[in-house]
Amino acid sequence: MDPRALPANWPYRSAAARRRVGPIDWWVIDTGPADGPVLLLLHGLGASGHSFRKMIPGLSARYRVIVPDLPGHGCSRSTARNRFGLKPMAEDLWKLCQHLNVTPAAVIGHSAGGAIALQLALDTPVPRVVGINAALDHFEGVAGVVFPMMARGLAALPFTAPLVTRFGASRQRIGQLLDMTGSVIDAAGKAYYTALIQTPEHVDGGLRMMAQWELGPLIGALPRIAKPVFLIAGNGDRAVPAHVSADAARFLPMATLRRIDGGHLIHEVAADGLSGMILDWLEG
């Protein structure tokens, strides 16, 4: 999406800017005290930095909060079509951090962003991670083979994203899909997702991320992440069941697990975006 096409009420539009690093033209929210410790926030598949709109105010009073749209999502664009997988995306995010001359005090990731946060903790000096309904599980059974193959095939077709945008992007359909996650977000939140999914480039980015996603190496490396990790799991999450975080916590040497009421988009429903809970853990 061209930032000039963003709705006037798009969250933190005035605090965001373009950052070109290698093949990626990032769109990055950068807010809070410039000399404060840095928190890097990573959204999930199909979302954008807007999804942290309720969390950012509580964090940015004391922290510099950096929220990029992931490659191919929202307003971030990449010409490297083979770098939408977990490890390449983590590598490119670290290059963005180096470009900004920051080392995050913690990385906070939702869903697939939680997996990327853990990959960063594994590969870089990132000291702490918060995962919100972190997507740390494979598709089960035959779906584990068929779904990635379908995504690869669809991502290779030039007309797929426009078709998805044309036939699947009505506000009603998108609202129904969001409700299926176990979270009922407000009308403004649904409107933001509608704007995203009506953009073929955003849909294409999501398809490419699905096609190139490979969790196996990270799952096998969880015992090597000897850093504090706070996993927040929504008991009503229908997209990434709470047991996924519970299972991962058993393999992470310094994990804290907290299960709470709510669905997959719990940070978009909670009044403070879960910032209070996260600050208590970061500063406790």
Q: Are 154 and 207 in contact (CB under 8 A)?
A: yes
- The arithmetic mean of pLDDT across residues 119-135, rounded, is 98
* Residues 6+ positions from 74 with CB-CB distance below 8 Å: 1, 27, 47, 48, 49, 50, 196, 202
Report which of residues 209 and 155 the model is more confident about: 209
Max avg pLDDT among 102-106, 183-187, 239-243: 102-106
pLDDT band at 150 (very low <50, low <70, confident <90, very high): very low
Q: At residue 155, does pLDDT exceed 80?
A: no
Q: What secondary structure letter does DSSP report for 199?
A: -
Residues with Cβ within 8 Å of residue 153, at least 6 apart in sequence: none
pLDDT value at position 168? 52
Q: Using the 8-state DSSP alphabet, how is residue 223 labeled?
A: G
- Please, which pLDDT band fits residue 156 given cuts at 50, 70 and 90? very low
pLDDT digits (tens, 9 = 90+) for 234-281: 999 998 999 999 999 999 999 999 999 999 999 999 999 999 999 999
Task: Please give the pLDDT value at position 216.
Answer: 94
Quickly list H helices, the chain: 56-60, 86-100, 112-123, 143-156, 160-168, 171-179, 187-197, 200-212, 216-221, 242-249, 266-269, 275-283
pLDDT band at residue 48 under the 50/70/90 scheme? very high
What are the sequence ranges of the domains in the chain?
3-139+215-283
Tokens representing 7? 């709705």
CB atoms within 10 A of CB 284: 6
The pLDDT confidence band at residue 172, using thresholds 50, 70 and 90, is confident
Single out the residue of 138, 102, 132 nearest to residue 118, CA to CA.
Answer: 132
Is pLDDT at 144 greater than 70 in this prediction?
A: no
Contact (Cβ atoms closer than 8 angstroms) between residue 226 and residue 252: no
pLDDT of residue 171: 67
Q: What's the mean pLDDT when you consider all of the chain? A: 90
Q: What angle do CA 26, 29, 32 make, to 5 degrees?
A: 145
Tokens 């398809």 identify what position? Answer: 207
List the end-to-end C-alpha distance of the chain, in Å, as a whole number: 39
Give 179's pLDDT tier (boundaries 50, 70, 90).
confident
Mean pLDDT confidence for 13-28: 97
- Return the CATH number of the domain spanning residue range 3-139+215-283: 3.40.50.1820
pLDDT exceeds 70 at position 157: no
Residue that wins the pLDDT comparison between 8 and 219: 219
Number of Cβ atoms within 10 Å of the Cβ of 21: 16
- Res 137: pLDDT: 86
Which one, of 59, 51, 174, lies nearest residue 113 by Cα?
51
